[in-house]
Amino acid sequence: MDHLVESSLMGLDSHGILRLPDYVNLVLSGRVQPGGALRVVRESAVTALVDCGFNFGQVTARRMTDMACDKAALSGLGCVASQNGMHIGRVGAYVQQAALRGFVAIGMVNGPLSSQRVLPFGGRDPRLSTNPIAFGAPTAGDPIMLDMATCAMPEGKVRLAMQQGKTLPDDVLVDADAQPTHDPSLLYAKSPGALLPLGGPLFGYKGYGLSMMVEVLAGLLGGASAPSPQRYHNGFWILALDPDVFCGRERFDEVVNEMVAHLRSSTPLDPTQPVRIAGEPEFRRKREREVTGIPVAAETWRLILEAGARVGVAVAW
Amino acid sequence: MDHLVESSLMGLDSHGILRLPDYVNLVLSGRVQPGGALRVVRESAVTALVDCGFNFGQVTARRMTDMACDKAALSGLGCVASQNGMHIGRVGAYVQQAALRGFVAIGMVNGPLSSQRVLPFGGRDPRLSTNPIAFGAPTAGDPIMLDMATCAMPEGKVRLAMQQGKTLPDDVLVDADAQPTHDPSLLYAKSPGALLPLGGPLFGYKGYGLSMMVEVLAGLLGGASAPSPQRYHNGFWILALDPDVFCGRERFDEVVNEMVAHLRSSTPLDPTQPVRIAGEPEFRRKREREVTGIPVAAETWRLILEAGARVGVAVAW
C-alpha cells in the first residue's frame, strides 16, 4: 500500500493508488496469494534465486532488494533473481530502496508471453514486454533514480493518452499491420497494434538490445521461458554494489556529488528548466504532493471505495 | 593487435586496424605505457578495483574480464572496476570474451573531461562521454553481444559520415549554439557542436539516464572525478554472472536458446531482413571477411606502413 501511495506522491500515477482495485481483484480471483514467504531455491554468499510463490510483487521485490543489500553489505555485491513473481509496481522503488541504504543498484523487470506487446527491431510480431531498467545511487541529496521502459513509451502512458484523448508522438506505436500510428487506442484494438523499442527506425536496435539484456537477466536467469505461457507477472532481477569495496565510501561520496553538480552546471536550453538528475522530478513532485495531496479522479475514487466494500474495508476520508 | 583485427573483421572499422597509427603515437608520446602489470588496489572474493597503469586498454580490459570471470566461476559473481586505464577499443569484445567462457556479462565504459562531447538532456554544455553499454550472454550459437553508445550516434560514426560527405539524421548533433544540425563537421568546428543523448527531444532523458548509470559504475566506482582533468582515457567496469548459481546451467541453456528462436520467429518487416539477435550482424560479417579479407583504404594502409617504419617494424603484405 505504501508503495502505491509513494508512486502517486511522486507523480507516477499509472503505478499508484489507481491500481488498488486491480490488486483487490487479483487477490479475490486467487491470482495473487498474499502472505506467502519467499522460498530460496538456490543461494550463495552473493547470489540468490527466490520463488515468490505468487505473493504481492511489491512485498517480494522489497524483500529481494533487502537480501541483495544484506549480501552487498557483507561481501561487496549482492544479486537476487526471481521465479513466480507477481506485479512489482514501479521498479525504480527498489533501486531507490537500495540507494537509501547506501548501495549502487541496478534493477530489471520482464513479463511473460501474455504481456509481450513490444516488437523486436525489424519485426512485426511482438516478442518482448516493456522490460524496464532502473538504476539507483546514493548522493548527498536525493538518490539518483532512473526508471525507464526499453520500449519508447510504456503501456501505462499509452493507456493514459487514450483516456485523455491525446495522440502519440512518432515512433511509439504501430497498428496491427505494422504501420506507424499516433492513435493510442489501436494498442487495445481487436487486432492489437504493438509498441516500438526505444530509438525509432534508426536506433531502435538499441532499445531492442537493452530489452534482450533485461529478458536474459530478469527472465531467463530465473528459469522463465520467453515463448511459453506462464502464470507469473514479473521476473525481477536486482544487483546491489557497495562502493566501499571499489574506490571506498568516502571517495565515492565525493565524486558522486561532484558529478551531480557537474551535470547540473550545464546551461539549460530552456532557462526555466535546469538540467536535472534522474529521479529529481519525481522527488520534487513527492514533496509537493505531501503538502497538497494526491489528485484522484472521481471515477478512480469510486472504484477504490467499491473495492473496499467488496472486501469489507471501510475507507476513511 | 588481435583486438583491432577482430573489430575490423566484424565490420566495426572505426575500432579496427584504422587505429594502429594512433596507438603507435600514443606509445611514442609516452601516453600509453606498454607492458605494465595490473596493480590490484582493493580486492575481495567477488570484486576488484585495479590500477591499469596506463598500459594498453585492450590488454588491461581483457585481464580485468578474465578476473571477473574467474571470480564468477568460483563465487557466482565477479565485478571489476578500473583506474588509470587507456583506450579499451570496442567494449563488446569483453562481454563477448566472458560469454564465450559461459558467463552472462555487462560492460560499461566512461571517459574523462577531455572526451565529454555529449549533452545532458535539456542542457547545452556537454558533460558526458559517449558512455557505451555492452551486454553478452552465451547461446548454442554465437553469443548475444550488444554494444551501444548511450548517445544517439557515437563520435566515430559522426567522423565517418564527415569523411564520406554524408549528412546526419535528426536528433544526433547540435551546433555550438545548441541548434539541431545535420552537418557532421560541426562536431569538429572551432566552436564545436555536441552529441545528443539517445532518445531525441521526447525520450532523451533515457539515453541521459543510462549515461549517468555508466558514469557512476565505470567512472565513479573507480574513483574518477567527472569535472576534473585527468589523464586516463577509459574507465571500464565489468560484471560477470554464472547462470549456474541462478536457474542452473542446463535450464539457462534451454531458455536462452528458446528466447533466441522466439525473437527470430517474429515476421520481418522487410522479408529480406530477418529479425536479428544483438551481435548477429557482426559475427556474420566476421565470417565473410575471414574469407574475403578486410577492405583497407589506401590512405589507411599508407599510415599503417608509415607507423611501422617509425618504430622499425617491416609490415609484410
pLDDT tens-digit readout, B222-239 = 999 999 999 999 999 999
CA distance A4 to chain B (A): 23
- CB-CB under 8 Å, A123 with B223: no
Q: Which of A189-203, B84-98, B209-223, B299-313 has the lowest mean pLDDT?
A: B299-313
Of A240, A178, A243, A239, nearest in space to A214 by CA: A239
Contact B270 A122 (CB under 8 A): yes
Of chain A, the end-to-end C-alpha distance in Å amounts to 16
Is residue A164 over pLDDT 90? Answer: no
Task: Report the gap between the CA of B214 and the closest CA in chain A (Å).
Answer: 10
* CB within 8 Å: B263 and A125: no
Question: Under an 8 A CB cutoff, do A221 and B212 touch?
Answer: no
B33 Cα to chain A: minimum distance (Å): 23
For residue B306, pLDDT over 80 is answered with yes
pLDDT, residue A163, reads: 85
In three-state secondary structure terms, A242 is coil
pLDDT(B152) > 90: yes
Chain mean pLDDT for chain B: 95
Q: Sort B16 into a burial class: Cβ within 10 Å, 0-12 / 13-18 / 19+.
A: buried
CB atoms A206 and B227 under 8 Å: no
* Separation of alpha carbons B108 and B132, rounded Å: 6
Closest to B259 (Cβ–Cβ): which among A47, A215, A269? A215
Q: Return the closest-CA partner of residue A128 out of A107, A156, A161, A155.
A: A155
CA distance A281 to A13: 14
Compute the average pLDDT of residues B290-307: 91
Q: What is the pLDDT of residues B37-69, one digit of tens each?
A: 899 999 999 999 999 999 999 999 999 999 999
Average pLDDT of span B100-127? 98
Chain A interface test: which of B40, B43, B259, B265 (most A C-beta within 10 Å) = B259
Contact A124 B219 (CB under 8 A): no
Burial of B313 (0-12, 13-18, 19+ CB in 10 A): exposed
Q: What is the pLDDT of residue B55?
A: 96
> If you average pLDDT over residues A7-27, what whole number do you get?
89
pLDDT interval class at B314 (50, 70, 90): confident
Cβ-defined contact of B220 to A259 (cutoff 8 Å): yes
Q: Which residues of A275-306 are buried (b: 16+ CB within 10 A; e: fewer)?
A: bbbbbbebbeebeebeeeeeebeeebeebbee
Least CA distance to A273: which residue of chain B?
B122
Q: How far is B37 from chain A (nearest CA, A)?
A: 19
Entry pTM: 0.97
**What H or E segment, with its residue span, contains residue A92?**
helix A92-100
**B170-222 confidence digits (pLDDT tens):** 999 999 999 999 999 999 999 999 999 999 999 999 999 999 999 999 999 99
Measured between CA atoms, how close is B166 to chain A, in angstroms? 15
> Which residues of chain B are within 8 Å of residue A169 when distances are taken between CB atoms?
202
Chain B residue closest to A126 (CA)? B266
- Inspect the interface and report whether the beta carbons of A49 and B247 lie closer than 8 Å: yes
Contact at CB, A241 and B221, closer than 8 angstroms? yes
Mean pLDDT over A130-147 rounds to 98
Confidence of residue B13 (pLDDT cuts 50, 70, 90): confident
Interface test with B, best of A43, A44, A47, A167 (most B CBs within 10 A): A47
Q: Which residues in chain B have their CB less than 8 angstroms from residue A77's CB?
A: 46-47, 77, 79
* A chain contacts of residue B248, beta-carbon cutoff 8 Å: 42, 223
Per-residue pLDDT at B292 exceeds 70: yes
Tell if the CB–CB gap between A199 and B202 is shorter than 8 Å. no
What is the pLDDT, as a whole number, of residue A317?
61
Closest CA–CA distance from residue B47 to any residue of chain A (Å): 7
Q: Is a pLDDT exceeding 80 seen at residue A193?
A: yes
Q: Do B226 and A198 touch (CB under 8 A)?
A: no
Contact B127 A262 (CB under 8 A): yes
**Has residue B317 got a pLDDT over 70?**
no
Tell me how close the Cα of A256 comes to any Cα of chain B, in angstroms.
7
